[in-house]
Amino acid sequence: MQNIKNIIFDYGNVIFELDFQKLEQAFKDIGIPDTASFFTHKVQNELFDQLDLGSISPAEFRNEVRRIAGKPDLLDDDINNAWNALLVGIAEGNHDVLLEMKDKYRTFLLSNNNEMHYDYIMRYLKDNFDLDDNSSFFEKDYYSHLMGMRKPNAEIFEFVLNTHGLVPEETLFIDDSPQHLEAASKLGIKTALVERPEPLRNIVDRLGL
């Protein structure tokens, strides 16, 4: 891609692989009656929006899951394990590619995340890579639940652009959700869709970065 000076990376299915089918089964196993409308890649209960925004706590989230499942005795660990079933891990070499991109571009992470997944991911990074967080791979890493904003709302993109003085037309946003890319595109940001989990090397090579 030409004239790109900045790259904003999504996390899930761009850097860190997710498995929505595994999550759907995990929710079925704890008694969620209609997983297709509860949480999928394209559709989710507003409960998850609130969790992404940090407007409800993990305890409040778990209590609502108990109510929806009709199982007031569900253990915290049962709910945590079901929700974290979505999280697979980071393909070998992805971190190396991020460091290469950081040498060539101004790079940022912009993730719809939540306290429960964030804590799991931070433990995963420590256990598997001896990293405390993702900060070494980006000029700045942003997580929705810590910002009180989430994609695809325009304000979260505007915040990153304005905070770092990024020109939209010189900025590429890579994400696996078409609705997020559409919102970014309306602000003049260039976009690239990741349609399935694959090594980050393949993605950047395909985009000519």
pLDDT digits (tens, 9 = 90+) for 91-125: 999 999 999 999 999 999 999 999 999 999 999 99
How many whole angstroms separate alpha carbon 121 and alpha carbon 118? 5
> Which of these, 158, 68, 77, lies nearest to 110 by C-alpha position?
158
Is the residue at 1 inside a domain? no
What is the count of structural domains for the chain? 2
Q: Which residues of 191-209 are buried (b: 16+ CB within 10 A; e: fewer)?
A: bbebeeeeebeebbeeeeb
This prediction's pTM: 0.94
Q: What share of the chain has pLDDT > 90, as a percent? A: 90
Summarised one tens digit per residue, pLDDT across range 64-85 is 999 999 999 999 999 999 999 9
The answer on pLDDT for 12 being more than 90 is: yes
Q: Are 176 and 156 spatial neighbours (Cβ–Cβ below 8 Å)?
A: no
Regarding whether 190 and 131 lie in a shared domain, the answer is: yes
State the DSSP code for 44: B
Regarding whether 200 and 151 lie in a shared domain, the answer is: yes
Regarding whether 190 and 111 lie in a shared domain, the answer is: yes
Cβ neighbours of residue 161 closer than 8 Å, sequence gap 6 or more = 168, 171, 187, 189
Summarised one tens digit per residue, pLDDT across range 130-139 is 999 999 999 9
